[in-house]
Amino acid sequence: MMTTDGPSTTTPDGLAPGSTATASRVAPTPAERPLLVEMHAITKLYGRGPTAVQALAGIDLEIRRGEMVALVGPSGSGKSTLMHVLGLLDRPSGGTYRLAGRDVSRLNSAGAARLRGTNVAFVFQGIHLLPSLTALHNIELPLAYGRVPKTQRRTCAREALERVGLAHLAQRYPSAMSGGQAQRVAVARAVAAGPELLLADEPTGALDRRSGRTVLALFQELHQKLGLTIVVVTHDPLVAQHAERIVQMEDGQIVSDTRVTDRLLAAAAEGDPSTTLAVEERAPA
């Protein structure tokens, strides 16, 4: 678990997945939570010379622990690049990035891999489950890389499967799962080790609407019950509306950063289908 040197009036490391946090716990208001992500003037250049592409053109971004952020914007605006930098998969060309109080802008690849392994988890659009492994074994595999002892791996994997509502599919192979089920297993795999930051790049992009919604509801639940910090890239206005905060990118820059009103958030949390529809019908700004 990472530590923070930010000012904190609450538990320093928020609510880790697997903790005994319940919905009845009084959550700190967003402004009181410690910062997990602090980016300043982040740039990313691909290539060099006249053909160089500036994928990120000066990103200032702060994300507090326990926030759920929807990252939106047109194709090519830099969303995936930002996710890669956030998740320590790629280094920025310039600027500073502090993750949980630690400067990670210039970590070498071994250092980045070490931090990433225990603290950051990804869910991608394509569902990358290994076809030769059962649901349970798919979830256990990264725990093995993370050097979690074998008995603990099994427990963590089972808990994660339960958390996504698929305990009954423990022995199922991916070929016998629906797209939505497979993506939920991928989410279980992502959260099994108890990451601080969950990054999802168009996680519902390959799913039909209904499965997409189930996965969306799952993110919402992980966010609310476990206090997990989530950044989700999406083109789906409904997904974006369910996040408490919407960050919009264009041409490698953040062009707006807004919080969804408390009313919408509360309605979404209730899962009221009529409100969900009402939210969905709101045209994206």
Interface pick for ligand ADP out of 75, 108, 151, 274 (rule CB under 6 A): 75
Reduced 3-state DSSP string for 186-254: HHHHHHCCCCCEEEEECCCCCCCHHHHHHHHHHHHHHHHHHCCEEEEECCCHHHHHHCCEEEEEECCEE
Nearer Cβ to ligand ADP, position 84 or 184? 84
Q: How far is the CB of 71 from ligand ADP (least distance, A)?
A: 9
Choose the contact partner of 76 out of ligand ADP, Mg ion, none; CB within 5 to 8 A by kind.
Answer: ligand ADP
Nearer Cβ to Mg ion, position 19 or 54? 54
Interface pick for ligand ADP out of 55, 72, 107, 260 (rule CB under 6 A): 55
Nearer Cβ to Mg ion, position 34 or 203? 203
Taking CB under 6 A as the binding criterion, the range among 8-16, 69-77, 143-151, 164-172 that sits at the site for ligand ADP is 69-77
Q: How far is the CB of 207 from Mg ion (least distance, A)?
A: 16
Nearer Cβ to Mg ion, position 161 or 239? 239
Nearer Cβ to ligand ADP, position 55 or 107? 55
* Separation of alpha carbons 202 and 235, rounded Å: 7
| Single-letter residue type at 73 | G
Neighbour order of strands in the sheet with 35-46: 53-64, 35-46, 94-99, 102-103
Nearer Cβ to ligand ADP, position 221 or 251? 251
Interface pick for Mg ion out of 80, 229, 248, 276 (rule CB under 5 A): 80
Residues forming a β-bridge with 230: 68, 198
The answer to whether residues 217 and 184 touch, using CB atoms and an 8 Å cutoff, is no
* Separation of alpha carbons 88 and 79, rounded Å: 14
Site residues for Mg ion, window 114-143 (CB under 5 A)?
none
From residue 25 to residue 54, the character string flagging contacts with ligand ADP as x (rule: CB under 6 A) and all else as - is: ---------------------xx-----x-
Q: How far is the CB of 133 from ligand ADP (least distance, A)?
A: 29
For 118-141, give one letter per residue: b (16+ CB within 10 A) or e: bbbbbbbbebebeeeebbbbbbbb
Beta strands 35-46 and 53-64, pairing class: antiparallel
# binding residues, ligand ADP (CB under 6 A)? 12
- The answer to whether 77 contacts ligand ADP (rule: CB under 6 A) is yes
State CA 183 to chain mean position distance.
14
Nearest to 63 by CA among 219, 230, 190: 230
Site residues for ligand ADP, window 81-110 (CB under 6 A)?
81
Q: How far is the CB of 245 from ligand ADP (least distance, A)?
A: 18
Nearer Cβ to Mg ion, position 66 or 203? 203
The residues, ordered by sequence, that sit 6+ positions from 281 with a Cβ below 8 Å of its Cβ are: none
Contacts with Mg ion by CB under 5 A lie at 79-80
